[in-house]
Structure 1
Amino acid sequence: MGVRQCQVCEEVQSKYKCPICLIPYCSLACFKKHKEVPCSKPSISEAKLVPVVIPERPLQVDKQDWLLQKKQYELLASSDQIRDALRDEKLREIICKIDCSTNGYDELEKAMEGGSFREFADKILSFLG
């Protein structure tokens, strides 16, 4: 993660973030100065998406054509429908459970029995189809 500058004094590296609006600040004095004007939680459209660093691990696929190409990833990433679906915390938990499982195929089978994950998978396939 990169070094962030204090957005209050704009002089030193920040060590903290406001618990409400997430603005980086460096000290108690800067935090107090920031709180002189009430802040609010940023809306989803205002919030910047933070890139997630995913540790490298070997891919285990039965067929190479199961892997997505860069253009397919870009198509999914630019889809408002896919991004809206991923705002659902329950869906994200299901995806993480599949991804973190030692037996992903079994977790995927279980997830496909539920309505929300199946709908999400169908949405993805319709974009890639």
Structure 2
Amino acid sequence: MQLCKVCTEQTPKYRCPACQIRYCSLSCYKRHKDSCRPVQKLISNRTKNAIRTDTWSVEDLLHEEDITDLVPLEKLQLLGQSKELKDLLCNPHLRELLRTVDSADSKEEAMKAAMQEPLFVEFSDRCLKVVEKEAQMQEFNEVMEW
């Protein structure tokens, strides 16, 4: 169970719009806002470092509790190259479902609800096919090199 990042006592109900930390109450938000560091500043600084040093990773953008099944950046970039996914994303209903999941406080509950929609299931399956296809190709290449 997650705890408020400010008081570390209560279950968080809210998320700071600037830095995305979770907090439980107005008083915690007021205590937090003086030390808040917006995510956009962190991203832009890390992106600049990535261009110079190539040491930036997706993990740098995620909070520790958000990392469960992490997909490498290279595989995520393959999703943007998929014509099938681009075609599916032309559907306004799918885009609205994705916005709903993205803005939900409980991502797990929002995903469960979205997975009841056949269009969302199709989108999820296509995403997995793109990512898994690349993983299978890498495994095949490693076996062939051996």
TM-score of the pair, normalised by structure 1: 0.52
What per-residue deviation string (whole Å, max 9, x for no partner) do you get for residues 54-92 of structure 1? 9567544352xx122121111100111111111111101
Say whether residues 1:78 and 2:81 are aligned partners.
yes
C-alpha RMSD of the superposition: 2.0
Question: Matched residues, percent identical?
Answer: 23
Q: Which residue of 1 aligns with 2:109?
A: 106
Larger radius of gyration: 1
Q: Which residue of 2 aligns with 1:92?
A: 95
Say whether residues 1:61 and 2:66 are aligned partners.
yes
Measured in 2, the distance between the counterparts of 1:68 and 1:89 equals 26
Measured in 1, the distance between the counterparts of 2:78 and 2:62 equals 24
Q: What letter is aligned with 1:110?
A: A
Measured in 1, the distance between the counterparts of 2:95 and 2:125 equals 16
CA contact (8 A) 2:76 2:131 kept: no
Structure 1 segments of 4+ aligned residues over 3 angstroms from their partners:
54-60
Say whether residues 1:115 and 2:118 are aligned partners.
yes
Measured in 2, the distance between the counterparts of 1:125 and 1:98 equals 17
- The secondary structure found in structure 2 opposite 1:102 is coil
More helix by share: 2
- The secondary structure found in structure 1 opposite 2:71 is coil
Measured in 2, the distance between the counterparts of 1:123 and 1:113 equals 16
Measured in 1, the distance between the counterparts of 2:109 and 2:96 equals 16
Q: What letter is aligned with 1:94?
A: L
Q: Which runs of 5+ in 1 are unaligned?
A: 1-53
